[in-house]
């Protein structure tokens, strides 16, 4: 006795294209008899070759004599016609080295290992839920293996019939997908399309127990079909339904790689009983939405379910509120940026050309000629105002770096930023913390403004004098005149206007913060506590709030990183950075040049002396320069990423 015959030889039927016993079948007709004769010749050649293989090899007759015992129709008639009919007995039943020992029960074949041939399937099945937890073997699904024939039914129908032998729940066969398959629609998903044939994972079984893995798995499978425009149009479905979902908060967080904390496809549509919205059994039927949404959200008003999970803000007919909000916000964004970008370009051209002309003529800037009293430092910003500005910078950058990764969740930099903050949940906490800081700053400024307008003593100017006066940030008629004067100066039609304490673009910056806080802050609060918001507003207003929040944030970021940076730092007379917001002072000569009317008022009112300060020390200058330069570089980096996404992605 020796080792078992090599399985590859057995799998090939000892080199023959069919089991050896087929050689002895009675053939009719001359052609078939000639073929039988040659098969017999080949059999003898195989017998001789095996005998010459040396001692220890199982004799050839052991392969040929299985039917002497296993001679019923299943093995003699059905097996040769099955899909495995080309294999020999010992191709699957290995471990038999001597027929006599086997017939006496002293030698039993090794357990059948289907993986000897189906290696890739076996590799997948080792991680299968049915194998890992239920110890299912191949024959539990692939029964009657000796008579197993090639399928004649569509695979999807066969899979559903086989799976529902164990999963005999109505949800498995009454759902829109399986029901459609049974009716002949091959585009619809069967069990294997979502769960796989042999690689069904453990986490497929429970969204509650495996929220991250299961949500990601189900959503990926749903998107694979529903994002396919060919399949969608062929089945009268919206081909952009996945894209609309991915523009919602749920879709963005899931898309960026953190599906556990948000609702995926299966959370709302369930995993099996997926039916059209009009079907009373559907989870998204209007009568079932409160219960469906209530599985994740708690304590909301019933109108909370008016929230649109797949909104198309370009569809004026179905979503009029979203459409007109999108039109208004787009108009505001494009109009504001185009106006101020044009203003910036004209200003830069005029200043740069003017400096170039002076350099060409050998004229030094007046600031370099300052001496004596002209070098005296004058306070422009108090310590409180400088601290508030630093806090404003920190909160703004935190909001941009935690909010824009969701807005542009498909961009490469988004994943890096989210991981920098420790994940989507942590980024959300930082975002809300920065938002609270910004709200507190704006509220404090509003209180200071009211205190300025309504002091304990009326003062010599009175209310309207303070409201529209030169120290007020409220726009007045002089601002309009200054704006027109700047336009004439841009085109060499006049001198640059003589400004007072505040310019018209600084006043715009000031009020833009309040408008932005109203638009971004109020919409952010609504989305922060959506369940509470539903007691005041219908659910669809959350869609509006999301759009307003997103577009106004984009406007704020682009305005700060372009217009504000230029007005305060990148203008040629101040490039590369103006430290005044960090040091709080500038020279008297700069004050005369930049704000001559303010200088004259302070001098006439005998207040100039009280505004004089000592030259800022090295630590303050170094700290201000470092922090300011880092802020500028970070802002330009974020601007580059945003513009790249807007124009090239």
Tell me, what's the pLDDT at 54? 42
Domain boundary among 90, 120, 150: 120
The whole-number average pLDDT for the span 468-480 is: 93
Domain boundary among 120, 141, 175: 120
The whole-number average pLDDT for the span 122-149 is: 86
> Does 303 reside within a domain?
no
* Rounded alpha-carbon distances, angstroms, from residue 514 to 442, 453, 567: 7, 17, 19
* Structure token digits, residue 76: 């003699």
Give the chain's domain count: 2
Closest CA to 132 of 72, 76, 200: 200
Residue 472 pLDDT greater than 70, yes or no:
yes
Higher local confidence (pLDDT), 510 or 68: 510
> Does 100 reside within a domain?
yes
Beta bridge partners of 612: 378
Decide: residue 383, CB within 10 A, 0-12 exposed, 13-18 middle, 19+ buried.
Answer: exposed
The whole-number average pLDDT for the span 362-375 is: 64
Please check whether residue 303 is in contact with residue 536, taking contact to mean a CB–CB distance below 8 angstroms.
no
Residue appearing with tokens 């841009």: 490
> Does 65 reside within a domain?
yes
Residues 445 and 148: their CA atoms lie apart, in Å, by 81
* Rounded alpha-carbon distances, angstroms, from residue 49 to 40, 43, 53, 89, 356: 14, 10, 7, 19, 98
Tell me, what's the pLDDT at 441? 96
> Does 389 reside within a domain?
yes
For the chain, percent helix, then strand, then coil, each to nearest 5?
A: 65, 0, 35
Q: 346 Cβ partners below 8 Å, 6+ apart?
A: 490, 491
pLDDT digits (tens, 9 = 90+) for 166-180: 876 666 777 778 888
Q: Count the neighbouring beta carbons within 10 Å of the beta carbon of residue 212.
A: 16
Residue appearing with tokens 């800081």: 437
Share the mean pLDDT of the chain: 84
Residue 453 pLDDT greater than 90, yes or no:
no
pLDDT digits (tens, 9 = 90+) for 313-352: 999 999 999 999 999 999 999 999 999 999 999 999 998 8
- Count CA atoms closer than 13 A to 11's CA, side-chain side: 10
Tell me, what's the pLDDT at 38? 56
> Does 59 reside within a domain?
yes
Tell me, what's the pLDDT at 21? 41
Dihedral angle of Cα 428, 429, 430, 433, to the nearest 10 degrees:
120
Q: Check: pTM over 0.75? Answer yes or no.
A: yes
> Does 317 reside within a domain?
no
pLDDT-based confidence at residue 519 (cuts at 50, 70, 90): very high
SS3 of residue 285 by DSSP: coil
Domain boundary among 120, 153, 176: 120
> Does 335 reside within a domain?
no
Tell me, what's the pLDDT at 2? 34
> Does 484 reside within a domain?
yes
Q: Which domain holds residue 114?
A: 7-120
> CATH code at 531?
1.20.950.20
Higher local confidence (pLDDT), 219 or 320: 320
User: How big is the chain, counted in residues?
Assistant: 649
What percent of the chain has a predicted confidence (pLDDT) above 90?
47
């Amino acid at each position: 006795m020796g080792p078992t015959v090599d399985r590859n030889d057995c799998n090939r039927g000892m080199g023959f294209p069919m089991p050896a016993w087929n050689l002895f079948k009675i053939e009719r007709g001359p052609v078939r008899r000639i073929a039988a004769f040659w098969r017999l010749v080949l059999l003898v050649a195989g017998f001789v070759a095996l005998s010459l293989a040396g001692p220890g090899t199982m004799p050839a007759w052991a392969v040929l004599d299985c039917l002497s015992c296993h001679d019923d129709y299943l093995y003699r008639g059905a097996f040769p016609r099955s899909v495995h009919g080309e294999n020999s007995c010992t191709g699957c039943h290995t471990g038999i080295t001597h027929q006599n020992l086997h017939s006496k029960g002293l030698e039993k074949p090794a357990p059948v290992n289907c993986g000897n041939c189906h290696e890739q399937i076996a590799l997948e099945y080792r991680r299968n839920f049915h194998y890992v937890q239920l110890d299912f073997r191949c024959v539990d699904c692939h029964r009657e293996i000796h008579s197993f024939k090639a399928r004649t039914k569509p695979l999807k129908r066969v899979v559903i019939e086989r799976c529902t032998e164990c999963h005999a729940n109505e949800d498995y066969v009454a759902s829109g997908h399986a029901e459609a398959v049974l009716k002949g629609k091959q585009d619809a998903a069967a069990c294997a399309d979502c769960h796989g044939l042999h690689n069904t994972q453990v986490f497929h079984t429970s969204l509650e127990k495996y929220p991250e893995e299961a949500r990601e798995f189900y959503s990926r499978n749903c998107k694979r079909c529903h994002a396919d425009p060919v399949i969608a149009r062929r089945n009268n479905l919206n081909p952009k339904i996945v894209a609309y979902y991915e523009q919602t908060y749920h879709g963005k967080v899931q898309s960026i790689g953190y599906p556990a904390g948000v609702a995926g496809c299966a959370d709302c549509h369930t995993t099996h009983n997926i039916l059209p919205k009009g079907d009373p059994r559907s989870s998204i039927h209007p009568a079932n939405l409160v219960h469906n949404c209530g599985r994740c959200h708690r304590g909301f008003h019933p109108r909370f379910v008016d929230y649109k999970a797949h909104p198309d803000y370009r569809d004026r007919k179905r979503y009029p509120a979203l459409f007109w909000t999108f039109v208004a916000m787009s108009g505001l964004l494009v109009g504001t940026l185009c106006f101020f970008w044009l203003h910036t370009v004209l200003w830069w051209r005029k200043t740069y050309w003017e400096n170039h002309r002076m350099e060409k003529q050998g004229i030094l800037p007046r600031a370099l000629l300052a001496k004596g009293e002209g070098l005296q430092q004058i306070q422009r910003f108090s310590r409180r105002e400088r601290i508030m500005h630093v806090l404003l910078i920190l909160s703004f950058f935190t909001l941009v770096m935690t909010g824009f990764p969701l807005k542009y969740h498909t961009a490469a930099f988004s994943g890096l930023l989210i991981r920098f903050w420790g994940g989507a949940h942590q980024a959300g906490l930082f975002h809300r913390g920065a938002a609270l800081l910004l709200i507190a700053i704006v509220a404090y400024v509003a209180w200071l403004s009211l205190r300025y307008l309504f002091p304990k003593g009326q003062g010599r100017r009175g209310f309207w004098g303070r409201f529209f006066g030169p120290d007020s940030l409220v726009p007045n008629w002089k601002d309009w005149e200054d704006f027109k004067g700047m336009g004439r100066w841009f085109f060499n039609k006049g001198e640059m206007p003589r400004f007072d304490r505040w310019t018209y673009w600084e006043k715009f910056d000031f009020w833009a913060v309040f408008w932005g806080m109203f638009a971004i802050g109020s919409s952010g609060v609504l989305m922060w506590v959506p369940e509470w918001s539903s007691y005041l507003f219908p659910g669809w207003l959350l869609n509006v709030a999301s759009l307003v929040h997103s577009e106004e944030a984009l406007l704020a970021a682009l305005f700060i990183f372009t217009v504000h940076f230029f007005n305060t730092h990148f203008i040629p007379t101040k490039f590369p950075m103006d430290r005044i917001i960090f040091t709080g002072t500038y020279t008297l000569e700069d004050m005369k040049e930049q704000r001559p009317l303010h200088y004259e008022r302070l001098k006439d009112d005998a207040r100039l002396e009280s505004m004089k300060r000592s030259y800022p020390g090295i630590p303050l200058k170094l700290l201000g320069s470092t922090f300011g330069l880092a802020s500028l570089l970070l802002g330009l980096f974020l601007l580059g990423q945003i513009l790249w996404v807007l124009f090239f992605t």
